[in-house]
């Protein structure tokens, strides 16, 4: 789950990191009177996307009376006029620094990233320190300091090392896959203040956290979903709609990625990506097919590809359930079925027998996923 900036900053504050004073202002509301005493102001739209500064969704001003004008400038650039705004005291930034902790997927550990030039153009910044974080030992400021030597003057490097050393522990406790602070502001009087927060929490760890936390982020995430994506979630699996011409039905993410690539290699594009919720594959074949049928009703969708791969669930039962489902309402576009089954799954019916059974009733079925995709490509005129 991606946290909105205001929720991300609340998380940082809970862990004792400095963030600017701020207050959420919802549509139609006015800022609270006490804000008038702040030295200056920044107002920021609370969206789940970054790059807001460049899109004019972050505005600075001197007097609270300018709030209305700032809001008027931001609103036209928003899809949803009810997007909450975060009003903060302006921090006098002497220097913008980039710091992040993220999961390094290939090394299977956390890594710390620090760049001496943060802010909106961080991608263009050349220098970056990457520090691997050991899983079994605490990260010490000394280790980080050693890696920062060339990028910062030594007094600042020491202060940043102490700051950054706290972040991996926060990421672990909060089950974060990303904790990015950009800019981390260094003020003229030497304070480090997190002026922005981009935080992503691993959804598989949701059960460890308060379900009522981060209500704004949850609401924004639901708003950003399509109707079918929301329906899929209530049916028990995850759907991401993509721009494509083939409705793709798969279960695990690995298989889904492989099929998306294969489809792409054959001149088509998948219009859907499916994954399991909570890591465990619930039995949701007919629910997934139902979503595929809805997708296939769209004129731009030319075919449905259903790849099923069974390890231990019975293939024979899967095929009977599929045939029963197909006997219902007809599909709006041609269906191509791929079948793979391990020993346990194939006890009563092998993948080859399943293909025969399906072909006998006119369903295009394959044991080889490449043959499956090639057949679909021929059918939609891409081969
Ligand atoms: P993003 O563009 O979505 O990452 O939004 P940010 O929250 O990072 O804001 C964009 C830019 O506005 C930052 O990179 C800063 O340069 C600037 N900014 C944000 N907050 C403050 C602040 O309190 N004071 C000052 N001077 N600049 C700020
Ligand atoms: Mn930022």
107 and 246 assigned to the same domain: no
**Residue that has been written with the tokens 């099929």 in this structure:** 259
Residues 64 and 154 in one domain: no
Element at 265 (helix H, strand E):
helix 253-265
| 316 and 341 co-located in one domain | yes
Residue 280, judged by CB atoms within 10 A of its CB (0-12, 13-18, 19+), counts as exposed
Which are the contacts of 1, defined by CB distance < 8 A and separation ≥ 6?
200, 201, 203, 206, 214, 217, 218, 221
User: How far is the centre of ligand 2, averaged over its atoms, from the C-alpha of 132 (Å)?
Assistant: 23
The pLDDT of residue 122 is 82
- Assess if residue 12 is contained within a domain: no
Q: Which residues line ligand 1 (CB under 6 A)?
A: 20, 42, 44, 50-53, 58, 88, 90-91, 93, 96, 119-120, 182-183, 195-196
Q: Which of 326, 196, 181 is nearest to 249 (CA)?
A: 326
Domain boundary among the residues 178, 208, 238 is at 208
Is the domain of 240 the same as that of 360? yes
- In this prediction, residue 60 carries a pLDDT of 97
> Which token pair is 287?
């629910």
Ligand 1 atom at shortest distance from the alpha carbon of 118: 14
Q: Is the same domain home to 251 and 364?
A: yes
Direct distance between the N- and C-terminal alpha carbons of the chain, in angstroms, rounded to an integer: 39
Q: Is 169 part of a structural domain of the chain?
A: yes
Count of CB atoms situated within 10 Å of the CB of 49 = 12
- Flag residues of the chain having pLDDT under 70: 279-282
Q: In terms of pTM, does the model score above 0.95?
A: no
How many domains are there within the chain?
3
The residue among 62, 89, 116 that closes a domain is 89
Examine the domain organization and report whether 241 and 367 are in the same domain. yes
260 within domain boundaries: yes
Residues 253 and 370 in one domain: yes
Mutate to test the pocket of ligand 1, among 48, 88, 178, 183 (most ligand atoms within 8 A of CB): 183
| Domain interval for residue 198 | 93-208
CATH code of the domain in which 342 resides? 3.40.50.261
- State whether 70 and 118 are in the same domain: no
Tokens of 56: 């004019």
Question: Which ligand 1 atom is at minimum distance from the Cα of 55?
Answer: 2
Q: What is the pLDDT of residue 224?
A: 87
Give me the CATH number covering residue 201: 3.30.470.20
Averaged pLDDT score across all residues of the chain: 95
Per-residue CA distances from 192 to 96, 101, 113, 195 (Å): 10, 17, 16, 9
Regarding whether 315 and 289 lie in a shared domain, the answer is: yes
User: Are 352 and 231 in the same domain?
Assistant: yes
Which residue owns the Cα nearest ligand 1 atom 12?
53
pLDDT value of position 281: 65
How far apart are alpha carbons 362 and 300 in whole angstroms? 24
Pocket test for ligand 1, best of 21, 195, 197, 199 (most atoms within 8 A of CB): 195
Last-in-domain residue among 46, 71, 89: 89
Q: Which atom of ligand 1 is nearest to the CA of 196?
A: 7
Query: How many angstroms separate the CA atoms of 346 and 88, rounded?
Result: 61
153 alpha carbon – ligand 1 mean position (Å): 24
Note whether residue 5 is domain-resident.
no
Same domain, 99 and 159: yes
Does residue 216 form part of some domain?
no
Query: What pLDDT shows up at residue 220?
Result: 92
Domain check: are 69 and 122 in the same one?
Answer: no
């Amino acid at each position: 789950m991606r946290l909105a900036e205001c929720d991300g900053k609340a998380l940082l504050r809970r862990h004792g990191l400095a963030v600017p004073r701020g207050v959420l202002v919802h549509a139609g509301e006015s800022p609270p009177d006490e804000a008038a005493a702040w030295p200056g102001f920044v107002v920021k739209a609370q969206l789940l996307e970054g790059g807001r500064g460049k899109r004019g969704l972050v505005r600075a001003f001197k007097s609270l009376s300018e709030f209305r004008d700032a809001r008027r400038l931001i609103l036209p650039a928003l899809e949803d006029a009810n997007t909450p705004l975060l009003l903060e005291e302006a921090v006098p930034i002497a220097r913008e620094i980039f710091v992040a902790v993220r999961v390094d997927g290939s090394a299977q550990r956390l890594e710390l990233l620090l760049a001496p030039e943060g802010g909106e153009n961080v991608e263009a910044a050349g220098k970056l320190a990457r520090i691997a974080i050991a899983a079994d030992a605490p990260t010490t400021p000394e280790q980080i300091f050693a890696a920062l030597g060339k990028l910062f003057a030594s007094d600042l490097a020491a202060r940043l090392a102490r700051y950054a050393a706290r972040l991996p522990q926060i990421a672990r406790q909060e089950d974060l896959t990303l904790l990015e602070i950009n800019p981390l502001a260094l003020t003229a009087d030497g304070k480090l203040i997190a002026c922005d927060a981009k935080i992503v929490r691993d959804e598989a760890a949701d059960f460890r956290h308060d379900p009522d936390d981060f209500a704004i982020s949850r609401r924004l995430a639901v708003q950003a979903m399509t109707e079918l994506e929301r329906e899929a979630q209530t049916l028990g699996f995850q759907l991401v709609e993509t721009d494509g011409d083939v409705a793709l039905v798969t279960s695990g993410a690995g298989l889904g990625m492989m099929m998306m690539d294969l489809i792409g290699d054959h001149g088509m594009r998948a219009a859907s990506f499916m994954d399991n919720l909570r890591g465990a594959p619930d039995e949701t074949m007919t629910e997934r097919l139902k979503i595929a049928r809805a997708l296939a009703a769209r004129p731009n969708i030319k075919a449905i590809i259903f790849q099923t791969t069974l390890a231990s669930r019975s293939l024979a039962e899967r095929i009977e359930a599929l045939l029963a489902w197909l006997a219902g309402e007809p599909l709006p576009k041609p269906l191509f079925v791929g079948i793979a089954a391990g020993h346990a799954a194939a006890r009563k019916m092998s993948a080859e027998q399943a293909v025969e059974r399906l072909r006998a009733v006119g369903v295009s079925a394959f044991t080889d996923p490449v043959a499956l995709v090639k057949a679909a490509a021929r059918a939609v005129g891409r081969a």
